[in-house]
Structures are given as C-alpha cells and as structure tokens.
Chains A and B, each alone.
Chain A
Amino acid sequence: MSNSSIVENLRKEIENFKAQIKVEKVGKVMEVFDGIAKVSGLSDIKSSEMVTFLNGETGVALNLEEDAVGVIILGDFSKIKEGDEVKATGRILEISVSNNILGRVVNAIGAPVDGKGVIKSEKTYPIEKVAPGVITRLSVDQPVATGIKVIDAIIPVGRGQRELIIGDRQTGKTALAIDAILNQKGQNMICVYVSIGQKDSKLRKLQARLEAGGAMAYTVIVNASASEAAALSYIAPYTGVSIAEYFMDQGKDVLIIYDDLSKHAVAYREISLLLRRPPGREAYPGDVFYLHSRLLERACRRNEKYGGGSITAFPIIETQAGDISAYIPTNVISITDGQIFLETDLFYKGIRPAVNVGSSVSRVGSSAQIKAMKKVAGTLKLDLAQFRELEAFSQFGSDLDESTKRQLERGKRAIEVLKQLQYAPIKTEHQVAVLYALTRGFMDDVPVNKIKEFEAGLTEYSEQNAKTFYKEVKEAKMWTDKGEVELKKVIEDFKNGWN
C-alpha cells in the first residue's frame, strides 16, 4: 500500500468519524488490592456490568454496596491506582464469538493467546445467560462416542448430558477428556476445552497432542492459567459455555470440558473472601452451589423448534485422597447426570483408564446407546457386577464350583478387555465386535495375559472379514442375523488361526 493511499484511507476514516456526546457514569478507585478494586460513584451500575479503567483494563462489578462497588479486575491490576477514573460501559460482560475461533487458544475474555493473530468476529455473546427452559429441551437419546470402551459400554454419555469426571490427582481425568475430544473427529461435534488454573506447560502439551491428532480443527481452548488473576479463572467456564452456545445456536452439537471445577470453586472463594462476602462451609461463599449449577444447567439438548443442537458437559473435579464427600464434589455430583469415578488404586494396579465401574454411573443410561452396544453391554455389566461380588468372596477359599470359577474367569477377561491405552480411542464398531466376542464367551479360553494381543488381532481380522457386520453396526446401529453369523464365523476362524 502506497503512502498516499494510506493517507487517503485515514482521511476517509476520519471523515466517517462522529464524536459522541453522552452522559457517562464515572467512579473513582478508592482501594485496589489482589485483583479487586473498590470504586466509589457508579450509582446506576448493574451487577456483572463491565467497567473500564483509565489504563484500558476491564473489570466486572460484582458487589453493589450502598456507597461503593466491588469490581474484579480482568487483567493487570498493578497499574491501577487510587483516585483513577472508572467508567461504566452499560454492557454486561461479553465476549466476541465467530466460527474463526475454531482451532484457537483464547483467554478468559475471548482474546487470542496463541500468537496466530486477531480473531475476526461478527457477534458478541454475554457470558452469563439463563439456561434454556423446559419447553425448549429434548430428552437425551443420542450417544456421544467417547472411544473409551468402559465409558461407551458401561457408563454411556448422551448428547446434552452432564457427566462428571472425578478422581484424585494423577488418575487420568484429563486423559479421558482428551481421548473423548480426539474421538470426535468426523462425528459432527465441536469441542471446547476450558482449562482453569492449570499449568501453561500442561496446556501446551495438550494442545500439541490435539494438533497431532488433527483435533484442533474442531476444538477451541479457553485458558485461564495458574499465573493469571483469580477473576479470570472465575469467568473462564462461562466464557467457554458462551462459545459453546454460539455453536449450539447454529444447530451444532458441542462437547465442553471444564478442567477443573475444583480450582474454579477455589478461585471464586478467593474473590468472595476478598470482596468480604461471608464465608460458609470450607470458607466457600454461600452461593458456590449456584456458581456451578447455573453453569452446568446451560448444557442441554434443544429441540428442533428452538434451533436444535446440544451442549454436552464433562466437568472435572479433583478430590483429595479419594474423598468424594467433600463440599464441592458432593455439590457437583448432585448437579450432574452421573459420574465417572477414577481411583488411584486401580491406576497403580495397571487398570487404565482407572474407572471404578461400581461407583460410576450415568443417569441417562442406556437410552444414549446404539442398539448394538446396548445388546453387548447389558451382559457385560452383569458379568462385572457378579465378578466384583465373587472376587471378594473367593479370597476366603479355593473350593469353588464350576459356574463360580467360570464367572471369575469371565470377569478377569472383561477387566482386561476394558483396559485401554491413552490417546487411542476406539471406534464404536470395533468396540461392539470385541465386546461381542467377550460376552458370548469366545475369549473364555484365551489366557488372561494374552487378551490384549487377542483383542488387537481380532479387531484387525474382523474388520477385514466381517464387513457385513461392521457395515450394519455403523449404518443401522444394529446387526442382523446375517451379520451375527458372519461375525461368529470370523471370530472362530481367527481363534483357530491364532492358536
């Protein structure tokens, strides 16, 4: 662009500009500390309204008191001083949204932080919104294929469901969520990963993993890292769900992961205590339940009349020493439609994903499963339940009858089959074929330590040879007699060749 055209453009822009004359509400900073500012004036301000400070930083009015306003500062508060002017904007906190946000990493206020330039956007969405009402909703009956056998088979998750992932540190909570994102490729699903108070190095690794798996094309990452102010951690999940709502409003299905809500509650506790709100149990403020319920209630499946689309939420909660009866875990358990419970003991026993099948539940249940999966998973659940019961019992004596022994052996194999490597989501058809072989007893004579090997071989062999079965499961979501006969024959052929 030549100099003259720059000048010409500038001239045009200046000609188009019209200064606005308006009455503004202005306040003055009385105190600033730890990301909080007490501001005088601002008489007509609304709760959650954005304010701007003299140095350009944004804040949100949270506490409206008689002669002051408590503002949380979204950014660097070190340059704000006493006596600085604060302007009310008249707008509730909002973020810019557009389809260009896909594949990007943004901060808690929707601004890009991945160094890939500005995100052009055409719309803004408020970060706080009332969840869709009863009339607009539809019951959950479409599955989210997570690609994790134990989840898809035993704790199925439906589109629009809120399924909690709960467990101690280092039990593979994030890994489950990432696997679920990786498996959404080609499943017509947009993913939003909200990282709250996590290490930047962990997020960078995760982003690289998603990029390597080609998952960033349909994923947005919202990051409020551990080094940023608590205010940003507090608003990040709401920003994430607003981005999800933008896509849902286009009729799309969205999967959102909040990693993790315990840190979110801690950030909110920090802000509340600084704002001098009265502390309650574990020093959390009284409205910490509402904090999470209003967030998770925004996950829903909407009916076609109201635009369709869905938001499935995977909130994550980190427990301390397996204590799921602490304040925040019990709150979130009661809000969600089920939980996936991960255990340290199982993790170190080598059962990974370390899902405790007994304590995990999906309240939506099998209505969110395809028919074929329902058929194989029903027997699997029973096998595992019997195994758990007999396992404890069998410790006392070795004199067991044949049927008990058989059930124990089946259980051991079921546990072996449900083990899965990280970042290796499995297609639903493959899962159905393997679980079919397991539940129909085809694996009963395979040694337990060879199960994984057998499974891998069978998956490959059956995909090539049981084409009808695979096609039926993939397209009609259920096999016919013809497909079943074919699969049985293929499994037997494979077993004969394998031995």
Chain B
Amino acid sequence: MSTISNNDIAKAIYLASKDKSSTEMHQVHKKVVEFLTRKKFMSRVAVILEQLKKVINFENGIVSATVLSAHRVHEKEEKDLVHFLKKRYSAKEVELTYILDQSLIRGIRLEVNDEVIDLTVRNQINQLKEYLIRPA
C-alpha cells in the first residue's frame, strides 16, 4: 500500500505550479516527471492527471457536470441548468458535457462528481417497478 495517494500528488503538483511564469513552469514539469519516474509512479499518471483536473477545478470554482438526456437540451434549459448548478455548488463557472442516451426516454440526468440528480422517465419507471414489487 502506497503512503502517497494520487490526490496528494495532484495537490502537490498544483501548488508547485501555481502562479508560476512559463519558464518556471517548464522547470516544474521537468521535476514532476523526474519525481514520478524516480518513485515508479508512471503507471498512475492517468489517475493523477484526472485528480489534478479536479483540484484545479475546485480551486478555481469550476464545476464540471455531465448532462445525460434523450434529446438535445434547449438553450433556455441550459441557462437554467447553469444557474442552478452555480447556485447549488457556489461555483464561478460551470462546464457542461452533453451525452445523448435514447434509453432515458425523456428528461435529464445530471452528474456532478459523485452526485446524481436523475429526472428521467427511465428512473421514474424503475422507481415504479420497485414500488409495485415491494414486499407487503
């Protein structure tokens, strides 16, 4: 079991490269790569990068959300969504990723980190199914 978690490394990289000029950044990057090679952490790079993105987003008040829906979301709905997400997560900026999925039938499903708000018809049908077969 490693004592340094991916999250720790990502945070360290963020802090080391914060407010640095581009020449300094070059040095930081070199050192980071050296460190990862020396510690044999190269296999964990993909996860560390993902964590780094999360750390940067968190520090800059950016919320990244995935919107799943059966049909394209209208502009007005998108505005409402952004407004809602900014308020809920006290974010400065919202990044939306759209995924179309016909099996949702109608409605949208919002995924932010590990939180899910499911407003789709498929979810309602599943809930109805569980309600009808519940033990007496």
Contacts and interface: CB of A to CB of B under 8 A. Distances in A.
A42 B7 contact: no
Contacts of B69: none
A40 B54 CA distance: 14
B116 A43 contact: no
A21 B117 contact: yes
Interface in B95-134: 111, 113-119, 123-124, 127-128, 131-132
Nearest to B125: A19
Contacts of A41: 113-114
B75 to A, nearest CB: 24
A43 B114 contact: yes
Given A13-B132, A14-B128, A67 B114 contact: no
Interface in A67-101: 67, 96
B131 A67 contact: no
Contact count band on A:
20 to 34
B117 A23 contact: yes
Contact of A17 (B7, B116, B118, B128): B128
B117 A25 contact: no
A309 to B, nearest CB: 27
B49 to A, nearest CB: 14
A176 B27 CA distance: 75
A402 interface: no
B51 to A, nearest CB: 8
Nearest to A17: B131
Interface string A9-27: 0100110010111111111
Nearest to B47: A67
A67 B116 contact: no
B48 to A, nearest CB: 11
A25 B114 contact: yes
23 contacts: A10-B132, A13-B131, A14-B132, A17-B127, A17-B132, A19-B124, A19-B127, A19-B128, A21-B119, A23-B115, A23-B117, A24-B115, A24-B118, A25-B114, A26-B111, A26-B114, A26-B116, A41-B114, A42-B114, A43-B113, A67-B51, A96-B135, A118-B136
Given A13-B131, A23-B117, A43-B114, 18 more contacts: A10-B132, A17-B131, A19-B123, A19-B124, A19-B127, A19-B128, A21-B119, A23-B115, A24-B118, A26-B115, A26-B116, A27-B114, A41-B113, A67-B5, A67-B7, A120-B135, A120-B136, A276-B1
Task: State the 4 A-B residue pairs at the shortest beta-carbon distance, nearest first.
Answer: A41-B114, A19-B124, A26-B116, A24-B116
